Structure 1
Amino acid sequence: MVYDLDSIERIGVIGAGTMGSGIAQVAAMNGYDVVMRDIEDQYVQNGFDSIESSLDRFVAKDKLSETEKAETMERIEGTTALDDLADCQAVVEAALEDMDIKQDIFAELEGVVDDEAFIATNTSTLSITTIASAIDSEERVVGLHFMNPVPVMKGVEIVYGEKTSDEALELAHDLAEAMGKETWESDDKPGFVANRILMPWINEGIRAFDEGVATKEDIDTGMKLGTNVPMGPLQLADHIGLDICLHATETLHEELGDRYKPAYLLKRKVDAGDLGKKTGKGFYEYD
């Protein structure tokens, strides 16, 4: 199977949530036609609303003109029908972090897109090899893990599964770079590079707060000033979503043992429905 970046004009994105809408946005901003698919019209509309709000921030900061914003929006079409991705030369799945859901999507997708289409998953913790096992052409499945928020963060983690071909791996790097991103590569091991290291950092920050080591503000300030990161662990957890952090940590705990055991306070916050910025309250409160 031979892949060619120049042949990709239309990109399908499965999932219109935070990650899916962000991927759709950066693809469209870089000249690709995009089909953004979700299971309900309201989810698709929410995705468009998120994209427009993000583009408005770019315009307000003079990083984008009103004309460029309009052109970007025009390149994106929404749908609830997976069949509408049939003419896409590349598809990025960004659905829920659930193995059964992802495998079902890939099994259906294989029968929709062309045999030569490039297909990738944006999973942050789940095995690329296991996701790919749901289809016959496992060699064309690769991890294309964008960082959140996608329109702002420069990094994309490229993950190869047991049967990922060299051609698919190379195209994953090329496609991410064509969207204005920078890449690094990881083997298909739990958490890959980013979350294998990031989640225990966040988890330990939550533990330190729960055990009274310092206030949440001082923990975040200490880590920002002490390690030159833009956000401390509690603030970053709120921005990612505490439910997402818990799910990622539980996955790593299952695979790698007690060093990744989720902090009690993280579980309690999620049970209470305080998921961070998206619900207006996590460790901090948001307007």
Structure 2
Amino acid sequence: MKNIAVIGSGTMGNGIAHTFAQFGYQVNLIDVNNEALDRAIATIAKNLDRQLSKGTITETEKTNTLKNIINFTDMKAGVADADLIVEAATENLDLKLKIFKDLDSFAKPAAILASNTSSISITKIASVTNRGDKVIGMHFMNPVPVMKLVEVIRGYATSNETTAIVMELSTKLAKTPVEVNDYPGFVANRILMPMINEAIYTLYENVAGVSEIDTVMKLGMAHPMGPLQLADFIGLDVCLAILNVLHDGFGNPKYAPCPLLVNMVTAGNKGVKSGEGFYNYANGIKDAVVANKFSK
């Protein structure tokens, strides 16, 4: 398994492409336009420079990593020779179903189709293909080159062979794969998102401010980042989408998204990606301050 295709060149997609390429795999990075792909390559180069400055890679490794990535805007051409295809598109069910239906007809019969979805059912995704045994979840964590976990999700029809291949492949990327079953939110987001949602409720109900809530969780619970800041980094729109999947999937009101989160996403305040969420990133992430609307 040497040829990898990655669908989507956003934050997760370019991170996945970066990681596979760094470990010597040939990567076809696929997106709808060249501008998005150019931004992705620029981001990968910047992140490689950061690794270079820390001494974790050499100049030769940086050069080889970039050489291992080829850009495509034509999905059919980009996946034709791939042994593994990793979809990292927006967390939208209809979009993912369309992509996997197309991939099933474009990819070679032996290819494994993986989704980086953070909450959507792998079984449902596999249902639009004729290769359910070869459809699996590979949920990488952000930032992909740094974070060690890969949540490997088995759909109802995913075969033992496919699971074993993906588990072994993940270890070759210096990751720690954890096998989980296909239920809404899997493990990571089933636990994380209710915590983030409760932190938003704590703000919504005026129990404490943004920085106070995050400080309690960082200093009291040894979290490296507070839940509200983490939500900004994930993307508030992504958090809302995952909570909706949990709420719809389990029918349990404890997963209902906080009205404040809904309003923020509706207003376009999605966190780091939009420049403002619970924090204001107008002067960069390092200089982020609590957004004015939450100031006491």
> Which category of TM-score, normalised to the shorter sequence, fits these structures?
over 0.9
Structure 1: distance between partners of 2:151 and 2:279: 29
Structure 2: distance between partners of 1:108 and 1:270: 30
1:60 matched residue in structure 2: 53
The one-letter amino acid of 1:24's match is A
Provide the aligned length of Structure 1 versus Structure 2. Answer: 280
Answer 1 or 2: higher relative contact order, Cα 8 Å, separation at least 6. 1
1:250 counterpart = 2:244? yes
1:154 matched residue in structure 2: 148
Give the SS at the match of 1:110.
helix
1:33 matched residue in structure 2: 26
1:262 counterpart = 2:267? no
Structure 2, unmatched stretches of 5+, are 285-296
> Residue 271 of structure 1: CA displacement?
1.6
CA RMSD of aligned residues (A): 1.1
Structure 2: distance between partners of 1:78 and 1:278: 23
The one-letter amino acid of 2:266's match is D
Structure 2: distance between partners of 1:283 and 1:276: 7
The one-letter amino acid of 2:5's match is G
Deviations 1:132-183 (A, max 9, x none): 0111111110111101111111101010011000000111111111111101
Deviations 1:176-230 (A, max 9, x none): 1111110111111000000000000001011111211112111111111222111
Structure 2: distance between partners of 1:232 and 1:16: 27
The one-letter amino acid of 2:227's match is P
1:201 counterpart = 2:195? yes
2:226 matched residue in structure 1: 232
Identify the match of residue 138 of structure 2 among 132, 140, 144.
Answer: 144
2:174 matched residue in structure 1: 180
Structure 1, unmatched stretches of 5+, are 1-7
1:285 counterpart = 2:285? no
Structure 1: distance between partners of 2:71 and 2:143: 20
2:266 matched residue in structure 1: 271
| Counterparts of residues 78-117 of structure 1 (less than 5 Å) | 78-83=71-76, 84-117=78-111
Structure 2: distance between partners of 1:59 and 1:277: 25
The one-letter amino acid of 2:275's match is G
The one-letter amino acid of 1:63's match is T
> Residue 62 of structure 1: CA displacement?
2.1
1:133 matched residue in structure 2: 127
Regions of 4+ moved over 6 Å: none
The one-letter amino acid of 1:258's match is P
Give the SS at the match of 1:173.
helix
Structure 1: distance between partners of 2:267 and 2:46: 28
